[in-house]
Amino acid sequence: MMKAVIITAPGGPEVLQVSDEEMPQPGQYEVLVEVKAAGVNRPDVFQRKGSYPAPAGVNPRIPGLEIAGIVVEKGKDVTDWNIGDRVCALVAGGGYATYAKVYQGHCLPIPDHLDFAEAASLPETVFTVWDNVFRRGKLQTGEHFLVHGGAGGIGSTAIQLASLFGAEVYTTVSSPEKASFCASLGAVKTINYKTEDFEQLLEGLGVDVILDSIGGSYFEKNIRLLNPDGRLVYINAMENAKVELNLLQLMQKRILLTGSTLRSRDREFKQILRDEIWSQVWPKLSAGHFKPSIYQVLPFAMAPEAHRLMEDSSLLGKIVLSF
């Protein structure tokens, strides 16, 4: 048996409780990881509320999409990892537990200079940013990139990686503290959306790629801001998923409108992402050019408090549960 944080019923943070659960058994291409830390992400909150169900084959009671720990067992056909390896990994669920099974192609080695909490903050955000900003958005060196909500886990990762790959980065935030935080990560222009209009302040600068998780009223502003051949990428729609689109604007500017979710993608796709991240991002991480942004590390029994912090939206970077 193992300890796990489970969702006892759809609802508020108080429905998260520590429970004794059956330990998962790794399949032939999977490793069993003794979890030392697990990242907390907004999809975990949606799952807790009952609006983001786990994919088939994943324990729906245990949330958690990213972990870091030590390989303690492996399937008979695992070739990538050995017992004792320190890994971080993307999982489709089950991360809030002392043990998790992971497909071997979704793991990454933890650089020596990172602790488990730092490593656990990386997989979900790095996979998401790499897929949406660099693969779907095709961000290039010298282009102008706007990410909405730059102080969160996705935003802080997007700012750092876009800057490291030579883009000029703009972001929207909700406070002066968040603006300073984003500037420290590499954003050249930060806009407080509570007191400023990001469309007015960016008009004339030209934007090539926008990563948006807001939707709603931001949509038309995004379309107007984009340069010809610009790319607008959606990973959420927290304000409103239904928007109006002027097709003539889309055609005249030749805008590419796209979006994605990661959790439901098949394991082969996720391994392709893992391989690209290992070769393109991990050298920058190992060299210290890209740093995890940790807001707070909490004991796993305080998962309800972690979710309250996530919903409060005052965080600067990632929240991590420690095991």
Pair 184, 241 in one domain? yes
Pair 48, 95 in one domain? yes
pLDDT at 129 over 80: yes
State residue 14's pLDDT score: 98
pLDDT at 268 over 80: yes
Read off the pLDDT of residues 140-180 as tens digits, 9 standing for 90 and up: 999 999 999 999 999 999 999 999 999 999 999 999 999 99
Domain of 109: which CATH number?
3.90.180.10
**Of 207, 237, 259, which closes a domain?**
259
Pair 246, 272 in one domain? no
Pair 101, 158 in one domain? no
Q: Which domain does 175 fall in, by range? A: 126-259
Pair 207, 143 in one domain? yes
Pair 58, 167 in one domain? no
Pair 233, 278 in one domain? no
Pair 151, 61 in one domain? no
> pLDDT grade, residue 270 (50/70/90)?
very high
pLDDT at 313 over 80: no
Pair 219, 95 in one domain? no
Pair 234, 159 in one domain? yes
DSSP 127-139: HHHIIIIIIIS--
The closest of 226, 267, 220, 260 to 244, measured between CA atoms, is: 220
Pair 247, 134 in one domain? yes
State residue 56's pLDDT score: 87
State residue 315's pLDDT score: 87
How far, in whole angstroms, is CA 53 from its chain's centroid?
18
Cβ contacts of 228 within 8 Å, gap of 6 or more = 253, 254
Long-range contacts of 301-304 (CB under 8 A, 24+ apart): 301/5, 301/18, 303/5, 303/13, 303/16, 303/18, 303/40, 303/96, 304/13, 304/14, 304/16
**Taking residues 38-58, what's their average pLDDT?**
93
Domain of 148: which CATH number?
3.40.50.720
- For residues 95 and 64, the answer to whether their CB atoms sit within 8 Å is yes
Pair 168, 267 in one domain? no
Cβ contacts of 201 within 8 Å, gap of 6 or more = 189, 191
Instruction: Give the number of other CB atoms < 10 A from CB of residue 323.
Output: 24
**Taking residues 267-276, what's their average pLDDT?**
97
**Of 232, 259, 286, which closes a domain?**
259
Read off the pLDDT of residues 87-123 as tens digits, 9 standing for 90 and up: 999 999 999 999 999 999 999 999 999 999 999 999 9
Number of domains forming the structure of the chain: 2
State residue 314's pLDDT score: 82
Task: Report the C-alpha gap between 305 and 234 in whole angstroms.
Answer: 28
